[in-house]
Amino acid sequence: MDLRTVQTTYANVQYYVGGAGPDLVFLHGAGGVTGDDPLLAELAKSHRVYAPLIPGYGDSEEAPEIRDMLDFTLHTWDVAIALGLRDPVLVGHSMGGMIAAEMAAVQPRDVSRLALIAPAGLWDDAHPIADLFATMPYEMPALLFHDVEAGAAMLTAGRNVTDPNFLQTYLVANARQLGMAGRILFPIPERGLSTRLHRIRARTVIVWGDSDRLIPPVYAHAFKKAILGAELVSIPEAGHMVTLERPRAVADAIDALH
Amino acid sequence: MKFTWFNLMPWPYLPDDFREKHRSVWVDIDQKLFDPVKSHEVYNTYMDLLEYADQLGFDGVGVNEHHQNGYGIMPSPNIIAAGLARRTKDAAIVVLGNSIALYNPPVRVAEEFAMLDCISGGRLVAGFPVGTSMDTNYCYGQIPSLTREKYQEAHDLIIKAWTTREPFAWNGRYNKLRHVNIWPRPIQQPRPPVHIPGGGSVETYDFCLDNEYSYSYLSFSGYLRAQALMDGYWKRVEERGVDKSPYRAGFAQTICVAETDEEAERLYWPHVNYFYNRCLHVYPGFADAPGYRTIKTIQTGALSQYAPPVGGYSQLTWKDLVEGGHVIAGSPETVRQRLEDLAKGLNVGNIFCLMHVGDMPADKCMYSTKLFAEKVMPKLRNVFPDWADDNRFWTSPLDKRVTSGSLPKQAPTSADLLKTYGVEA
C-alpha cells in the first residue's frame, strides 16, 4: 500500500492506496489502520483500495470543524470526491461502518455496494456496548479478539512498552484519535442512524465475528432488519477485530457483492 | 493572605476493604455504600463546620462540585452555598465552582450565582472549573474533545449575561437563546471575583491573565509537588508583563493542627489515612478521557492527578504524607512555618484550607480549626505586605448587610400596623 495525501476543505487527509480492480473505499475503526493491514491486502487482490485516515489519525490533520455525525459523513464524501471516485464499493469497520452507513443513507443514489463490518451506530438497552473510553489498554484484547492471546500480541507488536517516551507518544496519539472518535462514539456510540438506515438502496452485506464482545452479534440482526435486502455473513472464531483475525473470509463476503 | 475553610464533604462510611473490594470511588461507585438516613447527619454536621469557620474569622468558606463521588457528596455546591449565605456573616462564599459546560443553558449559573451574591450581600467568589474528566465526561456525558469549546462558550455567555444591561440574543454553537436577560444580577460590580481551578492546562494560564481571574491549583498532593506547575504559571505571568500579585493564585492544602506534632499524628492519622488511602481510589479508566486534555498540555507532561503513579499505588504512611507535603500537620508553630514556606515558595495568597479530612469527626475538626484560626492565621496575615490592598481577586460586600432571623419576635397586631401605616387605604 502507498501512503498519499489528498486535500479537503477541513483537513489534508492521508490515505492508503493499492491494488487493481473496481474502486473500493475502506473506512477504519476507532483503532485506526496501518499500511500492512491484512484485510487491505486481501481486498487489494481484486480492487483498487483507498483507505483514508480520519482527521487526527496518523498524519491526517486534526479538524476542529468536524464535530458531529453529519460533519463526519459529509467530510468523508468530500474525501471520495477529492479522490475522483464514483460509486466505489463502500466498506467500513466499526466506527468506519457507522460512517459508511450514514454516507449510504444520506446519498442513497451514490452507493450501490455497501459492506458493514461490525458497525457501530445502533444501541440496544438490553445489550449495552462496552465503554471503549473507560477501557484500559490491557483490557482491550479480551474485548476485541476471539483469540485473546494472539490479539494481545498483535496489539503490542513492534512497541516497546517500557520506553519512557512510548507513554507520551501513546497518550498523544490516543488523545488525537479517540478524542476525534469520541465526537461520534462518546459516551454512547449512537447518533440517530436507526432513523436513517431505511434510506439505504445499496446491495448490502453485514459481516460480523461470532465472538464479538465489543458490539455483540445481536446488533448484526438489528442492522440486517433495518437495511432493505441486506445479507448477513457471520464468521466463526472471530471477534470484533474480524478484519485482523479472518481477513480472507471478510474479503470473500465483500467480493460476493459484485 | 486569605484563608478559605474548605470541605470536600467525603462520605465517612467507606468500608475498610474498600480498595480491595471496589474498583472506583467515583463514577460507578457502589450505590449500596450510600445511606441516605446517615447522610442527614453528615450533611448537617458538614454545614455546621463551615458555619463554625465563619465564626472563627476565616476569610472564606469553600464548596465544590463533584458527581457520583465517594469523597465529595456535593453534586450541587449552590445548595450548600445557599445555606451558608443565610447562616454565615462575614466570610466570602467561595464556590469553586460550577462546572459550567454541564449546565443547559449556562445562564442558569449566571442566575444562581447572582442569587447567591444577592442573598449574601456581595460575598460570592465565583469559580468556573472545566470539571474533572470523571465528572464532566464519564458522569455527565460531555464529549471529551468538545468540552473546552463548550466551556468557553458557557463562560462568555455568563459574563455577558452578568454585564449587559439589556436583553440580547445569543447565537452560540451550544446555546441558542433569543432573549438573554438575567434577573436578578449580582451585587458585585462589574462582576463577582472569578477563580479558575486548573490542573496544569497551559491554556488556562492565559485565560486567567486575559480576564484578571485568579488561578487555583486544587491538588491533593501538596505544595512540594506543586512547585513546577506554579513556576510555570508565574513564568507565564512574567512573560505577559503582568504584575505578580500573590492573589493571582490559589492553592488547596490539607492542614491538621494540634498542640504538638505528636498529638497531630495521634489524632489525625486515621482520617488522613482514610482520605489518601481510600477516598482517592479512582479506577484509572476514568482518570482522563481521550480528548479531554489538549495535545499541548499532554506534551508538557501534565497528566491527571488521578492517573496511577508510575510503579502503581502503594499505601502512604503519615511520614510519607507529611514529609512529602501532601499534608501540613503538627503544632501551630510547625504548621505556621510550613504554610509560610508554601505561600512564599509558590507565591500564593489564597489558601484553600482542607481542614476536614476523610472521616474526621466534628470534634477533632473543630479542635484543629480553632487552633488554626487562633494560633496560625494571625501570624500569617502579613506574609505579602506589598499586596495588602490588592482586592482585585476577592469580594466587595455591601457595608451594611442583613442576616437571617431579623423578623420581629412576634407577628404585629392590628394596632401595631395602624401605628406603622396609618389609616389610608
Flag whether residue A143 sits within 8 Å of chain B, measured between CB atoms: no
Is ipTM over 0.95?
no
Residues of A in contact with B290 (CB under 8 A): 133, 174-175, 177-179, 182
User: What is the Cα–Cα distance from B81 to B101, expressed in whole angstroms?
Assistant: 20
- Per-residue pLDDT, B311: 52
CB-CB contact of B124 with B61 (8 Å): no
Residues of B in contact with A180 (CB under 8 A): 145, 291
CB-CB contact of A89 with A22 (8 Å): yes
Domain that holds residue A155: 2-255
User: What is the Cα–Cα distance from A187 to A195, expressed in whole angstroms?
Assistant: 19
Q: Which residues contact A230 (CB under 8 A, 6 or more apart)?
A: A204, A205, A206, A223, A224
Amino acid at B386: D
B347 exposure class (CB count in 10 Å sphere: 0-12, 13-18, 19+): buried
| Closest-CA residue of chain B to A63 | B145
Amino acid at B312: G
- Per-residue pLDDT, A223: 98
Flag whether residue A176 sits within 8 Å of chain B, measured between CB atoms: yes
3-state helix, strand, coil in chain A (%, to 5): 40, 15, 40
Coil, strand or helix at B31 = helix
Flag whether residue A130 sits within 8 Å of chain B, measured between CB atoms: no
A179–B291 CB contact, under 8 Å: yes
Residues of B in contact with A187 (CB under 8 A): 137-138, 141, 143
A176–B285 CB contact, under 8 Å: no
Residues of chain B with pLDDT below 50 are: none
Q: How far is B61 from chain A (nearest CA, A)?
A: 35
A175–B293 CB contact, under 8 Å: yes
Flag whether residue A199 sits within 8 Å of chain B, measured between CB atoms: no
CB-CB contact of B214 with B249 (8 Å): yes
User: What is the Cα–Cα distance from A188 to A182, expressed in whole angstroms?
Assistant: 9
Element (H, E) at B100: none
| CA distances to A5, A64, A140 from A58, in Å | 11, 16, 20
Coil, strand or helix at A57 = coil
Give the rounded distance of the alpha carbon of B311 from its chain centre.
30
User: What is the Cα–Cα distance from B47 to A207, expressed in whole angstroms?
Assistant: 58
Residue B189 pairs in a beta bridge with: none
| Closest-CA residue of chain A to B295 | A172
- Per-residue pLDDT, B425: 58
Q: Which residues of B311-323 are buried (b: 16+ CB within 10 A; e: fewer)?
A: eeeeebebeebbe
| Closest-CA residue of chain A to B292 | A179
* pLDDT at residue A214 is higher than 90: yes
Q: Return the residue in B145, B147, B149 with the most chain A beta carbons within 10 A, the one to mutate for interface testing.
A: B145
* pLDDT at residue A2 is higher than 70: yes
Q: How far is A135 from chain B (nearest CA, A)?
A: 6
Flag whether residue A169 sits within 8 Å of chain B, measured between CB atoms: no
Residues of A in contact with B27 (CB under 8 A): 134
A168–B293 CB contact, under 8 Å: no
A194 exposure class (CB count in 10 Å sphere: 0-12, 13-18, 19+): middle
B409 exposure class (CB count in 10 Å sphere: 0-12, 13-18, 19+): exposed
Residues of A in contact with B291 (CB under 8 A): 175, 178-180, 182, 186
Flag whether residue A70 sits within 8 Å of chain B, measured between CB atoms: no
Q: How far is B291 from chain A (nearest CA, A)?
A: 4
Pick B290's closest partner by Cβ from A133, A168, A187: A133
| Closest-CA residue of chain A to B136 | A187
Q: How far is A97 from chain B (nearest CA, A)?
A: 20
Question: What's the number of domains chain A is made of?
Answer: 1
Which residues of chain A from 1 to 60 reach within 8 Å of chain B, CB to CB? none
Instruction: Using the structure block, give the residue that is written with the C-alpha cell 401605628.
Output: B419
Amino acid at A247: P
pLDDT digits (tens, 9 = 90+) for B58-89: 999 999 999 999 999 999 999 999 999 999 99
CB-CB contact of B369 with B5 (8 Å): yes
Residues of A in contact with B311 (CB under 8 A): none
A171–B141 CB contact, under 8 Å: no
- Per-residue pLDDT, B424: 66
User: What is the Cα–Cα distance from A244 to A232, expressed in whole angstroms?
Assistant: 19
Between strands B327-330 and B249-257, the pairing is parallel
Residues of A in contact with B306 (CB under 8 A): none
Pick B295's closest partner by Cβ from A131, A176, A188: A176
Residues of B in contact with A185 (CB under 8 A): none
The grid coordinates of residue B14 equal 467507606
CB-CB contact of B289 with A180 (8 Å): no
A186–B295 CB contact, under 8 Å: no
The overall average pLDDT reported for chain B is: 94
Flag whether residue A128 sits within 8 Å of chain B, measured between CB atoms: no
- Per-residue pLDDT, B246: 98
Q: How far is A129 from chain B (nearest CA, A)?
A: 15
Pick B286's closest partner by Cβ from A134, A180, A186: A134
| CA distances to B47, B75, B135 from B40, in Å | 11, 15, 24
| Closest-CA residue of chain B to A183 | B143
A135–B284 CB contact, under 8 Å: no
pLDDT digits (tens, 9 = 90+) for B183-200: 999 999 999 999 999 877
B259 exposure class (CB count in 10 Å sphere: 0-12, 13-18, 19+): middle
Q: Residue A44: give its domain's CATH number.
A: 3.40.50.1820
The overall average pLDDT reported for chain A is: 95
- Per-residue pLDDT, B345: 97
pTM over 0.90: yes
* pLDDT at residue A160 is higher than 90: no
A186–B283 CB contact, under 8 Å: no
| Closest-CA residue of chain B to A172 | B295
HSE, CB side, 13 Å, CA atoms: give it for residue B420: 6
- Per-residue pLDDT, A105: 98
